[in-house]
Structure 1
Amino acid sequence: MNYDVTAVRAHFPALQEGAAHFDGPGGSQSPTQVARAVADVLTSAVANKGVMTAAERRATEIVDAARAAGADLVGGEPAGIVFGRSMTQLTYDFARTLAKTWGPGDEVVVTRLDHDANVRPWVQAAAAAGATVRWATFDPATGVLTPDDVAKVVTARTRLVALTAASNLLGTRPDVPTVAATAHEVDALVYVDGVHYTPHAFVDMSALGADFYACSPYKFLGPHLGMLAAAPALLEELRPDKLMPSSDVVPERFEFGTLPYESLAGTTAAIDFLADLVPSPGTRRERLARSFEALEQHESVLLSHLDNGLAQLPAVTRYGAPDRHRTPTTLFTVANVPPSEVYRGLAERGVNAPAGTFYAYECARVLGIEEAGAVRAGLAPYTDKSDVDRLLEAVADIAA
């Protein structure tokens, strides 16, 4: 299946500024279609959701379309799609809600591979409820978290397992279905952080075994927003704190205040754009499957080129095993050059690849880079071979 990266790149005005972007894991660039969708809402008559006026109906249609698009993206149901300001905000909200049923003797499992947004909300909610936190860690030599690493801390008292589908620092993709099966054997819920996974893989939350699947549209070409998917029946069981007059229907009971309609329209446009990365007939879900298959092949080739190029530089140390299945993300340092200076040097050469620990606090501690961090290079749908070549040439120059 042919992936025409030149045609894809033509839709991204930001690329005309000339930088090679490897900063997608922190926030991707957006295509014209997303910007236009946002602008169309902001320049149209829009009111709070309703049916009486055209402005109210437009708002309702925008929300319904975004829920349908979100469901198609992750293999969920429109009535199970919840929107919020960010994945972090949504996770805090759901942690507080779920913790209402926890108490002393209950246990929550978190991992040291995860972004802190899928760690600290659970740790803090457990502490408030008097529940116990159990930690699953990974092998720092490989960057791999195995199902056994998680299984050995899951017990009959486990109420929830929080796990990333892909490490935002290393790109490592744990075996989520096997971990989820272990959790479900003890009737524990599974909360999956899909923020770094969603931009690179065709998501099927049921196949993953995710009871909750959280992601961020601004990581997959859309606006700044958070999205969570769950079965509507599961959401019906949860009672979040909310304003007395606000809606109690699912999923609205989890959405506080008026939704950002322009961002929802942009999210729909981003998902439609992803579905048409490789134009083909069929439903949006079917087109997403084909487009992500082609995207994964494209990114895999570029990642191999990047890894092989960095391996030729003796001064470069890479973290995680390059032969492991991971998102197209590479973490590295350069001998005798602080990561912040590598970051600066790359930027001066028109290559955007930031350095730090990127809120993966526990992961960075295990790797021993919590102080200075490392440089992270992440690919995106608009990355081409010339971008990778520019990065490799720049790193070689800095390392010389």
Structure 2
Amino acid sequence: MTLDLNLIRSHFPALRRPVIYFDNPGGTQITQMALDRMVHYLTLHNANHGGAFATSRESDAVLEMAHQAVADWLNAARPDEIVFGANMTTLTLHLSRSIARTWQPGDTIVVTRLDHDANISPWVLAAQDRGCRVRWVDFHPEDGTLDLDDLARALEEKPRLVAVGYASNALGTINPVAKIVSMAHAVGAWVYVDAVQYAAHGPMDVQALECDFLVCSAYKFFGPHVGVLYGRYDHLQALSAYKVRPAPNDPPGKFETGTQNHEGIAGVLGALEYLEWVGRTFGAAVDQPTLAVYSGRRRTFKQAMLAIQAYEANLSRALLDVLEAIPGVTVYGLRDRARLAERVPTVSFTLAGWLPQAVATALDQAGIYVWDGNFYALAVTERLGLEGKGGLVRVGPVHYNTPDEVQRLGDALARLVRQA
């Protein structure tokens, strides 16, 4: 069974608006199940943590359900390996301070030029504070893939930490994270994975990856503006948290500083309940022998993300076909149709004679929403020589988008070329 797009789209109230949302890499539209969870929380269970009364107990129960749901989604070993926060950037800035306390002057920290700056600057700033060296790993400009030979050379310096993205938010490249983790662990380095751009597009298993930390944001996978961090329990337990004194001394509470966004966390639960519905409804068609190790909701989540991944591979192919047929378009990143499994359907391009912002403005007038600029992937646009030229135009369909919408994008770009 393929995805029923009419049924899928009925779960997203924003899609009633007669526009095309291709701005999803900056934030997807929210599912009704997440909205329902948020309203239900605020109207029935709204209270602070730890009170000796009913609504506080009910509030805590919702938050515990959300921790467990994320643990099941990521296949974490236990729910207290899940930390909620404002967003990926804030969580990373917070945790980087704790991790940096374990470094010594002269230690090496590895970052990559393919990453979002939220997985670069926190580590660069922490390295400066601790007198550590930052080693940058390059990517191949011709296809947007990480330079694994350069990574291997960086690992010869025995770094303390490797910060790497699961998928590039600018070029769509999926990095071979399991291989990178194995390479890094062989020299004793921890690995901090930014999965923000990948989370909406494919299955994740933190135990199989053996990563030390993985972070994402729910507003990139159909929920509200809440950040989600996975950390190995032994790491979270051992690290010193920057927190107020009465806060818990054990994870996840020691890192969930202040009063959390309870209604937002309830919304994360709703977003994952939506993905669970996708798995129950469409997942049987993509059942694979590799799923035998999962059971219950964890298996359903994996089926959901595999169904989404299979559908989006066709969107990637259609999007590349449409863009490459437009005179003057230059697509950056992987374009080989035989390697679609190595990218998410986030595609960036430039149009000859047009500034990226002008393209985005013209597409907005056609009812098509796309991003322009560097998308906080500043190292990418600098490496491609595009930062001083307005950056890139970024198109990012997700599983609620349709092939017809992709074609309408191509028609709109063709009109721009004719007008010019």
Residue in 1 aligned with 2:346? 329
Tell me what 1:344 maps to.
361
Q: Is residue 208 from structure 1 mapped to residue 209 from structure 2 by the alignment?
A: yes
Unaligned runs of 5+ in 2: 285-294
| 1:27 and 1:218 in contact (8 A); partners too | yes
Q: Secondary structure, in 3 states, of the residue corresponding to 1:29?
A: coil
Tell me what 2:55 maps to.
55
The one-letter code of the counterpart of 2:307 is: A
- The aligned residue for residue 308 of structure 2 is 295
- For the pair 1:258 / 2:259, whether they are aligned, the reply is yes
Query: What residue is the counterpart of 1:75 in the other structure?
Result: 75
Q: What residue in structure 2 maps to residue 131 of structure 1? A: 132
| Aligned counterparts, 1:1-400, within 5 A | 1-50=1-50, 52-76=52-76, 77-280=78-281, 283-323=296-336, 324=339, 325-371=342-388, 372-400=390-418
| Separation in structure 1 between the aligned mates of residue 95 and residue 234 of structure 2, nearest angstrom | 15
- TM-score, length basis structure 2: 0.93
* Partner SS for 1:167: coil
| Offset at residue 249 of structure 1 (A) | 1.6
User: In the aligned structure 2, how far is the partner of 1:321 from the partner of 1:186?
Assistant: 30
CA contact (8 A) 1:242 1:253 kept: yes
Deviation at 1:9, TM superposition (A): 0.3
Name the one with the larger helix percent: 2
Q: Indicate the percent of aligned positions where both proteins have the same amino acid.
A: 40
Quick check: 1:118–1:193 contact (8 Å CA) kept in 2? yes
Q: Which amino acid aligns with 2:173?
A: T
Q: Could you say what secondary structure the match of 1:299 adopts?
A: helix
Moved more, 149-158 or 196-205: 149-158
Is the 1:339–1:355 Cα contact (8 Å) retained in structure 2? Answer: yes
Change (3 A) 1:181 1:278: closer
Which residue matches 2:292?
A: none
The offset of 1:172, in angstroms, is: 0.5
* Contact residue 92 and residue 119 of structure 2 kept, 8 A: yes
Aligned length: 400
Segment drifting more, 65-74 vs 188-197: 65-74
SS in 1 for 2:375: coil
Cα shift readout 1:113-151 (whole Å, capped 9, x = no counterpart): 000000000000001000110010001111110332211
Alpha-carbon distance in 2 for matches of 1:144, 1:20: 29
| Alpha-carbon shift at residue 52 of structure 1 (Å) | 2.3
8 Å contact 2:322–2:406 — kept in the other structure?
no
> Are the structure 2 counterparts of residues 278 and 80 from structure 1 closer, same or farther at C-alpha, using a change threshold of 3 Å?
closer
Q: Equivalents in 2 of 1:5, 1:291: separation in Å? A: 14
Deviates more, 1:192-201 or 1:152-161: 152-161
Task: State the AA in 2 paired with 1:268.
Answer: L
Residues 330-385 of structure 1: per-residue CA shift (max 9 Å, x gap): 10111101111100110000101121110001111111111201110001121011
SS of the aligned residue for 1:202 comes to coil
- More displaced 10-residue stretch of structure 1: 121-130 or 237-246: 237-246
Q: TM-score, length-normalised on structure 1?
A: 0.97
Deviations 1:280-318 (A, max 9, x none): 586221111111111111111111011011111121110
Q: SS at the partner of 1:30?
A: coil
Paired AA for residue 125 in structure 2: Q
Contact 1:3 1:278 in 2 (8 A): no
User: Which amino acid in 2 is paired with 1:179?
Assistant: I
- 1:318 is paired with a residue whose SS is strand
- Deviation per residue, 1:173-199 (Å, 9 max, x gap): 111111111110111100000000111
Give the corresponding residue for 2:289: none
Query: Following the alignment from structure 2 to structure 1, what is the Cα–Cα distance between the partners of residues 4 and 377?
Result: 33
Separation in structure 2 between the aligned mates of residue 288 and residue 393 of structure 1, nearest angstrom: 36
Distance 2:21 2:160 in 1: 40
- State the distance in 1 between where 2:7 and 2:45 align: 33
How far apart are the structure 2 equivalents of 1:45 and 1:80?
24
Following superposition, the deviation at residue 156 of structure 1 comes to 4.8
Offset at residue 278 of structure 1 (A): 4.0
Cα offset for 1:45?
Answer: 3.9
Contact 2:21 2:368 (8 Å CA) reproduced: yes
Which residue identity does 1:321 align to in structure 2?
A: L
* Cα distance in 1 between the residues matched to 2:329 and 2:369: 18
Alpha-carbon offset, residue 207 of structure 1: 2.3
